[in-house]
């Protein structure tokens, strides 16, 4: 048994719908590692519970696992705006939103978050960023003004497989994006933050 298996065994079980979505994502997508997965899904669900978040923004839906995880903990009148750039995911996302019975709590947007976020009114209680890494700094600049005071931003892949420790190659725009994002957060006087070694690194940001 490795550490990841141990973590999973000591984390509350996935719902049946998330188990099936997890399995189908691994069977039918080219990059199943993009899935938030069991532990991260429960972490997001726990954060929604702890913050009593009612208005959530997600940048990067993928197959819908994280959106459904968070929606399971939303208040009765809560809403998640989730943005996915890849239309090829539409069939799987729609299928599992429908089967989850949570489709009324999840509003799905297709397109680039840089175009869509400015159109969303907010304010948001919680923002989850898990999309194209080169745009993390731009996403941060867009969402921070739409985050309510004492709201939280959670950004996935903030350690980027350890590449953040190295000087980014000239053409490695993803590593550079993560490094720039981490530095931007660290030097922003309007927030407090902690970088956690969960999965591939989670940057937690609390707005003053």
**Can you give the pLDDT of all 208 residues of the chain as single tens digits?**
898 899 999 999 999 999 999 999 999 999 999 999 999 999 999 999 999 999 999 999 999 999 999 999 998 899 999 999 999 999 999 999 999 999 999 999 999 999 999 999 999 999 999 999 999 999 999 999 999 999 999 999 999 999 999 999 989 999 999 999 999 999 999 999 999 999 899 999 999 9
- Which residue in the block uniquely carries the two structure tokens 């997600």? 58
According to CATH, the superfamily of the domain at 3-207 is Vaccinia Virus protein VP39 (3.40.50.150)
Q: What is the pTM of this model?
A: 0.96
The radius of gyration computed from the CA coordinates of the chain, to the nearest angstrom, equals 16
Residues 6+ apart with CB under 8 A from 170: none
């Amino acid at each position: 048994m490795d550490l990841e298996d141990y973590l999973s065994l000591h984390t509350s079980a996935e719902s049946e719908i998330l188990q099936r979505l997890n399995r189908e994502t691994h069977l039918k997508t080219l990059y199943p590692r993009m899935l938030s997965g069991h532990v991260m899904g429960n972490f997001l669900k726990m954060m929604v519970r702890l913050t009593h978040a009612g208005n959530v923004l997600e940048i990067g839906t993928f197959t819908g696992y994280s959106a459904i995880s968070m929606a399971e903990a939303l208040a009765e009148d809560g809403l998640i705006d989730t943005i996915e750039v890849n239309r090829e995911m539409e069939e799987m996302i729609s299928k599992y939103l429908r089967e989850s019975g949570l489709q009324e709590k999840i509003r799905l947007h297709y397109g680039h978050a840089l175009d869509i976020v400015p159109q969303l009114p907010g304010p948001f209680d919680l923002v989850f960023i898990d999309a194209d890494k080169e745009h993390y700094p731009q996403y941060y600049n867009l969402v921070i003004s739409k985050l309510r005071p004492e709201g939280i931003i959670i950004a996935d892949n903030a350690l980027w497989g350890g590449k953040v420790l190295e000087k980014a190659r000239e053409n490695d725009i993803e590593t550079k994006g993560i490094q720039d994002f981490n530095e931007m957060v660290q030097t922003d006087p309007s927030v407090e933050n902690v970088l956690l070694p969960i999965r591939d690194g989670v940057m937690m940001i609390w707005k003053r």
